Structure 1
């Protein structure tokens, strides 16, 4: 049986577009998120509007 797994650790390597750090805006819940990592991290602060909005405005997924 052959291995059909793919690995994506860095956004600039093969399959990098599947990484949460891949720069590609997404629209969810009425906001445009710079990356899926921004969205993921903001969900931890759904009840804290200040932190939620701060994450939305951060420049990079690493900062988020």
Structure 2
């Protein structure tokens, strides 16, 4: 009974760490990439707008 509890606890503790890890082509652990920032362009008047994504055409702060 104790062995089952120990194995279950070990599996629960290691599951989040394994699902959040990223590896490169060589199999080494690396920092996981973040979501890509939406593309922003300036219009002829100098105001910034989203050029793609669900907010396409909406004004935003210039980077």
- TM-score, normalised to structure 2, is 0.23
Considering fraction of residues, name the structure with more strand. Answer: 2
- TM-score, normalised to structure 1, is 0.23
Larger radius of gyration: 2
Higher relative contact order (CA 8 A, sep 6+): 1
